[in-house]
Amino acid sequence: MSVSHSHRRTHRRWNPNIQTVRAAINGGNRRRINACTSCLKAGKVTRV
């Protein structure tokens, strides 16, 4: 929970870093998809 100077409390939200990439989908079909950078780094998405 974040607390500002005036002591207003807000819940911090961590959003995924989404990138639009051209990827090979089952069987080599190329398509634009939204993938998070952690998935790209882990090799879960094959970029074309």
**Residue 32 placed within a domain:** yes
**Residue 43 placed within a domain:** yes
What integer pLDDT is reported at residue 28 of this predicted model? 83
1-48 pLDDT, tens digit each: 889 999 999 999 999 999 999 999 887 899 999 999 999 999 999 998
**Residue 7 placed within a domain:** no
**2 neighbors 14 (Cβ within 8 angstroms):** no
**Residue 3 placed within a domain:** no
What integer pLDDT is reported at residue 43 of this predicted model? 94
What integer pLDDT is reported at residue 1 of this predicted model? 85
Token couple for 6: 């005036």
What integer pLDDT is reported at residue 26 of this predicted model? 87
Whole-structure pTM over 0.75, yes or no?
A: no
CA 44-20-41 angle, to 5 degrees, is 30
